[in-house]
């Protein structure tokens, strides 16, 4: 188990942080406080999250683990500002996102959150370069800035020579490298990765794990990963286990599957 960064990002722990399910240290990029999410199905209320609270330290690799139906996906959607809690609070970089209008929230998400999906979600008619450039285009950056940033991050993930290939000309591992580059190119506050190794064989999965760790250290960014992959779990600096919509365990370091 590797620890290039301490779990507290080198800061002293807050009082009772472990008891509250919070990452140690005051430099949390994401903090959830008593988050509840309930869905309405007809006249029936279906609880998905029940009082979840923890913080994720800046510049860390944190894992959210748990069985299917535990609430992981709902939790990731809330952290990623794709959904809102029924009650409770989500703060990103110290800002309460509930205070933002819908348009402001969309802009906030576009600038501050990168996404990596297990199915890659690349645009098939665009090249690797164009897929990576696309988030910057949406942010209104000038062409020269977009080109420089996209080429730099493609080189960092080892795909500079394949930048003109479309997704159907890339292997699964190469597609996920493009997806990682796309998530990182805008230099977000954090990256959410939903089962990033699920559709890869063990060799490509190991390579993607190593790349994410390399990017986390090299770019001083935060990865928040939902996974069932034992290999990926061993690289965690913080592990949060969710079951039945509740945080049932929080440990520093990796977790057993």
The domain that contains 223 carries what CATH number?
3.40.50.300
8 belongs to a structural domain: no
pLDDT(7) > 70? no
Enter the DSSP assignment of 161. Answer: G
10 belongs to a structural domain: no
Going through 16-86 in order, the beta strands assigned E by DSSP cover 28-41, 44-57, 61-65
Percentage above 70 pLDDT, the chain:
88
**How high is the pLDDT of residue 256?**
57
Helix axes 202-219, 172-184, angle to 10 degrees: 20
Count of domains forming the chain? 1
199 belongs to a structural domain: yes
Percentage above 90 pLDDT, the chain:
68
Name the one residue in this structure whose structure tokens are 């950056």: 141
CA dihedral (203, 208, 214, 217) in degrees, to 10, reads: -140
* Residue range 79-106, pLDDT digits in tens: 999 999 999 999 999 999 999 999 999 9
**What confidence category does residue 3 fall into, taking pLDDT thresholds of 50, 70 and 90?**
very low
Question: In 3-state terms, what secondary structure has residue 14?
Answer: coil
CA geometry: angle 88, 92, 96, nearest 5 deg? 50
**How high is the pLDDT of residue 33?**
97
52 belongs to a structural domain: yes
What rounded mean pLDDT belongs to the chain? 87
* Residue range 152-167, pLDDT digits in tens: 999 999 999 999 999 9
The tokens describing 127, both together, are: 């090249």
**How high is the pLDDT of residue 10?**
36
H/E element, 249: strand 246-252
pLDDT(4) > 70? no
Q: How far is CA 166 from CA 4, 12, 157, 186, in A?
A: 35, 47, 16, 21
* Residue range 60-77, pLDDT digits in tens: 999 999 988 899 989 999
Instruction: State the residue range of the domain holding 88.
Output: 28-252
**How high is the pLDDT of residue 255?**
62
**How high is the pLDDT of residue 257?**
52
Distance CA 118, CA 123 (A): 14
**Span 37-45, average pLDDT:** 92
14 belongs to a structural domain: no
pLDDT(217) > 50? yes
* Residue range 228-238, pLDDT digits in tens: 888 888 888 99
5 belongs to a structural domain: no
Beta-carbon contacts of 104 under 8 Å, excluding residues fewer than 6 positions away, are none
The closest alpha carbon to 251, from 23, 13, 8, belongs to: 23
244 belongs to a structural domain: yes
- Give start and end residues of each alpha helix (H) in the chain: 72-79, 102-112, 128-138, 143-156, 172-184, 202-219, 230-233
11 belongs to a structural domain: no
């Amino acid at each position: 188990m590797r620890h290039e960064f301490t779990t507290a990002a080198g800061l002293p722990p807050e009082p009772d942080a472990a008891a509250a399910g919070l990452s140690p240290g005051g430099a949390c990029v994401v903090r959830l406080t008593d988050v509840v999410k309930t869905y309405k199905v007809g006249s029936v209320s279906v609880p998905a999250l029940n009082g979840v609270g923890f913080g994720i330290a800046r510049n860390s690799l944190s894992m959210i683990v748990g069985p299917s139906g535990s609430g992981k996906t709902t939790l990731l959607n809330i952290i990623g500002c794709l959904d809102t809690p029924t009650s409770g609070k989500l703060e990103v970089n110290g800002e309460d996102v509930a205070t933002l209008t819908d348009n402001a929230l969309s802009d906030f998400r576009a600038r501050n959150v990168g996404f990596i999906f297990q199915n890659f979600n690349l645009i098939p008619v665009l090249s690797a370069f164009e897929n990576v450039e696309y988030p910057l285009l949406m942010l209104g950056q000038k062409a020269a800035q977009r080109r420089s940033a996209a080429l730099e991050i493609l080189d960092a993930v080892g795909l500079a020579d394949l930048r003109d290939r479309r997704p159907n000309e890339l292997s699964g591992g190469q597609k996920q490298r493009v997806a990682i580059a796309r998530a990182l190119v805008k230099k977000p506050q954090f990256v959410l990765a939903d089962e990033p190794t699920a559709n890869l064989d063990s060799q490509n999965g190991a390579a993607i794990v190593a790349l994410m760790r390399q990017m986390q250290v090299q770019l001083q960014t935060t990865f928040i990963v939902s996974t069932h992959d034992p290999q990926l779990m061993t690289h965690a600096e913080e592990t949060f286990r969710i079951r039945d919509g509740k945080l049932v365990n929080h440990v520093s370091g990796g977790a057993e599957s």
